[in-house]
Amino acid sequence: MAIPSQVSSSKQNVTPENLQQQPPKESLQKKPLPLLGVNIDHVATLRQARGVSYPSPLAAALLCEKAGADGITIHLREDRRHIQDADVYEIAEQLTTRLNLEMAATTEMLAIACEVQPFWVCLVPEKRAELTTEGGLDVAGQKVWLTDYINKLHNGGIKVSLFIDPDETQIKAAVACQADAIELHTGAYAEMGLAGNTEGKQAELQRIKQAVSTAQHADNKLLINAGHGLTRDNVSAIAQIDGIYELNIGHALIADAVFVGLAQAVTMMKAAMYQ
C-alpha cells in the first residue's frame, strides 16, 4: 500500500518497498550524500500529552539508530514542553552515533550541556509562545555574547552549530563567532511548497543554494547542515545541494511513523533524500 506524505497533498506513486531501494552506485560517486539526523522531540510530545512514562524517547532514539539514522537530535526547551532533563542524560549515555542537543543560549542550558557532553550543541532561538522554532538565530545582533558562549562550549569539548536563516549577514556572523557548523533554516522553502507556491518554493531553494555557496566561501571548514519542515516530498532538492553535510528531520518523519512504524519511516526518509 502506498503511504502518502502526512504533510503534503501531492499524489505519490510510491510504496514503502521501492522507497527502500538505494540509489545506483554511479549516483553515489557524484557527491557525498548528506547524513540524516532524526529529531525525536515529538515522541516526547506524545508522552507529555498524558503525563505518563511512554512512549520512551530513549527507545525511539535507539530504534532510529538501528534503522540507519546517522545521529539523534533533541531540543531541551526552557519550558520543557517535550524533552525532559532525564531524557537528555539517558540518551547521551546510550547513543552509539552522535547526540545533537538543540537549546537556547542561556546560562542554565550551558551548565547542562557541559555536564552532558553531547557531540553537538545547536543553538536556536526560542520563544515560549511559539509552536515550533519560527526562524533563525540573530547571530549578528548577539555576536559578543555568542562568541563567549561558543568558546565556553568549545572549552567543554563540544562542537557548536548555529541555526540561522539562509542570510549572508548571519552566515558571516556565525563564522566570526567561530561556530563549527551552521544549520540553514528551510522553513520558508517548506511553507512555500505546502502553499502550492511553486515559484516561491523555487526562489527559496535558490536562496538556500546561495547561502551554502556563501558559507563555503566564508570558511571552507564550516559544516553546513539544514532542517525544518523537511518531508519526503521536498527533501530531495535540499539533499542534492553540493555542500550540505547533514539534514535534521523530525515532525514529518514521526508523522510517517504513525502509519508505517519508526524504523520504516527512517528508511523511507533516507530513500527520499537520495532519490
Rounded distance, CA 23 to CA 28, Å? 7
Residues 209 and 241 sit within 8 Å (Cβ to Cβ)? yes
Catalytic residue flag (residue 228): yes
Separation of CA 50 from chain center: 26
- Residue 193 backbone dihedrals phi, psi, to 5 degrees: -65, -45
Please confirm whether the linkage preceding 34 is cis (ω < 30° from 0).
Answer: no
Catalytic residue flag (residue 75): yes
Catalytic residue flag (residue 251): no
List the catalytic residue out of 42, 65, 75, 251: 75
List the grid coordinates of 226: 539544514
List the catalytic residue out of 42, 82, 185, 228: 228
Amino acid code (one letter) for 152: K
- Residue 136 backbone dihedrals phi, psi, to 5 degrees: -80, 165
Local structure of 71: helix, strand or coil: strand
Place of cell 520504516: 264
- Residue 186 backbone dihedrals phi, psi, to 5 degrees: -100, 15
List the grid coordinates of 63: 530504534
- Burial (CB count <10 Å: 0-12, 13-18, 19+), residue 104: middle
List the catalytic residue out of 65, 82, 102, 251: 102
- List the catalytic residues: 75, 102, 228
